[in-house]
Structure 1
Amino acid sequence: MWEVIATYRLLAAGSAHPVHGGWMDQVRPRIAAAGLDSGLLAELIPAHGYLADFLTPPPDEPAPSLDTELAAIRATPADQIRADLDVLDRGGRRGRSLHTDPQDWLDRLVGEIEAYWQLALAPYWARIRAVLDADVFHRARQVAEHGASHLFNELHSELSWDDNTLRMVRRQCGISRATTGPGLLMIPSAFAVQVFTWSRPAQPPQLAYPARGTGTLWERRSTAPTEALAAVLGRTRTVLLTELEAPASTSELAQRTGISAAGVSQHLTALRDAGMVSAHRTGRSVLYARTALGESLLAATA
């Protein structure tokens, strides 16, 4: 959900981005066509400042699925939703409806989040997840080798660790141990441009921060079909796998490769059954994307 928040804000800002520009160009038209740029998400995720805390529930596991987080959102007490909306004070029509009848409108909100995920994040998740996992491993090693002070002082320019206290530079942040639970949940984000904080009594505070290595997220992999991989998969399937540098539909792949749409569909089904590509419905069409397995196979034979 932190990535849902960060990406939605990035798209809503409308400005260019030095790293995510290509992704934004691909995703923004899909979001607009689905009407997701003007619904509940648009009212609950402002471009700046506070956003409703119930949208980012504390995880109970290191890498919860979207379904797990959406279940936690659905379980948010009505009083908590109203309290968050009062702080947000957006005043939009849908926001007021959510305030009046939270349980009914929560289903609509969850539906928007699911649709947004399928359009903006699911086709790219293998790459995004790889960057996030690499960041977690790097930070864990920092703590093991140098301690928490080194970790926090290297994490982001807005953060500093001094005298056993974590401070946010040039930011007003009202988090204290008197009002939060034990521990600190650190959440890397491939799309965050600043540090986000979350706190609620009895819950451990959350700290979402820009992940290390985000600049490599959209680096082009080798697109030349390798003979070694082609010998195993067949040349046509290898070509299709390499063409999925960015998510694409059957018709797009057919135009680019000269393979018939029926042939593309047949080979993509085989690749999907083998776990090398994933399919994500976007309106009337389906986008196909390489999975982590597909990425690894291409990298290993490049």
Structure 2
Amino acid sequence: MIRLHFDAADLRRIVLAPAPNALWEAALSLRSLRAGPAVPDRPRPGVKQWRRRVNGSLAERAGVLLDLVPRDGYLPDFLLQPAAPDLASAVDMAGRTPAEELTADLRVPDPAGRDTAAPPPSRWSLELAAGTATARRTLTADLRGYFDSSIAPLWQRVRTDGTADRALRAEMLLRGGVDALLTTLVPTWLWDPPVLHLPSRYTYDIPLCSRGLLLMPSWFGTGPMIRYRPDEPTVLAYPMHVTDASGTPAGPPESALGPLLGRTRAAVLGALREPATTTALAARTGVSPATASQHATVLRNAGLVHTTRTGTSVLHGLTPLGTALLAGEPPGPIRR
């Protein structure tokens, strides 16, 4: 479990990235290809078709990037350039990464203390870690070549889905504040103020230290990816919201909200079109009272549900934000 710890300043400094990061998406797409079809795709329309279209001659198209992008686990930080407005700028910035950062990002070990069971770094990785001009030119050339051959035909779709995701996150922030934004970011992530819990096989506690958080939507990402620098805002890349081929969630409201809230939580929200006690809510949704209460609490923290105590019972109902979300109300001006 990765835990991101917010303070009051961090909560005021949450920023939504303007678009997916082209360089980062290239790295994650290469990981998807290296993982192969045995690893299940997340339910995003288009990923399997894209994989079938580009899966040939990977070594020729990826070049030295195969030395940088493993099938899972850590990715070098210099492959995410959050300040870059486009691919050309990102590739240029990656190619100018200081040698000491390259060494740290590539995790090149001291030869005297290296674990002999681990595969040795390639000759090219050692040259890049040393910051040689030849290795830098090879890096930038292969980054451009891989993007042009593998990602460019898909990039408009990625940007379109990223724009839709950003509008959704902005709407949640405008209507329900930071609690609504962080509660609905990914169904399996838990916002328990002031800590955001991210499922992971690694265990880290990361204090944001008043520097804020940049939220980066990812088309190819399947889980949280974090870039932490002591003197910069932390970057959290998250899987963007899944839509159908037209860019619109399909099905009835609860089904459309499933990828955003989680199916059970979306069902709980839908069941509250008519106010209900915890016991009645559990009966409507087929879950235990304890589970119904837990989901109602999360939805209440997100500003979607209100709860009123009536004697020894509590009564749950929808807030205006919850009602609008179920109705699929489009973004509109804020009325004060």
TM-score range, shorter chain: 0.5 to 0.7
Distance change (3 Å), C-alpha of 1:87 and 1:152: farther
- How many pairs are equivalent? 211
Q: Identify the match of residue 77 of structure 1 among 72, 95, 98.
A: 98
Q: Identify the match of residue 185 of structure 1 among 214, 219, 231.
A: 214
Greater helix content: 1
> 1:174: how far off?
4.3
Q: Give the TM-score taking structure 2 as reference length.
A: 0.58
Question: Match for 2:65: what amino acid?
Answer: L
Q: Identify the match of residue 202 of structure 1 among 231, 238, 259.
A: 231
Whether 2:192 is the aligned partner of 1:162: answer: yes
Distance change (3 Å), C-alpha of 1:169 and 1:21: closer
| Matched residue SS, 1:146 | helix
Q: Aligned equivalents of 2:129 and 2:150: distance in 1? A: 27
Q: Give the TM-score taking structure 1 as reference length.
A: 0.64
Unaligned runs of 5+ in 1: 220-302
Contact 1:127-1:217 within 8 A present in 2 as well = no
Contact 2:127-2:135 within 8 A present in 1 as well = yes
What residue is the counterpart of 1:54 in the other structure?
Answer: 78
> 1:158: how far off?
4.3
Whether 2:130 is the aligned partner of 1:107: answer: no
Q: Identify the match of residue 27 of structure 1 among 46, 54, 63.
A: 54
Bigger Cα Rg: 2
Whether 2:25 is the aligned partner of 1:3: answer: yes
> 1:101: how far off?
3.6
Distance change (3 Å), C-alpha of 1:214 and 1:59: farther
Q: Aligned equivalents of 1:141 and 1:157: distance in 2? A: 17
Question: Match for 1:84: what amino acid?
Answer: D
Q: Aligned equivalents of 1:204 and 1:217: distance in 2? A: 34
Question: Match for 2:182: what amino acid?
Answer: F
> 1:154: how far off?
1.4
1:117-266 equivalent positions in 2, closer than 5 A? 117-170=147-200, 171-178=202-209, 182-216=211-245
Contact 1:31-1:119 within 8 A present in 2 as well = no
Q: Aligned equivalents of 1:98 and 1:74: distance in 2? A: 10
Distance change (3 Å), C-alpha of 1:85 and 1:174: farther
Unaligned runs of 5+ in 2: 1-22, 110-117, 249-336
Question: Match for 2:100: what amino acid?
Answer: D
Distance change (3 Å), C-alpha of 1:28 and 1:214: farther
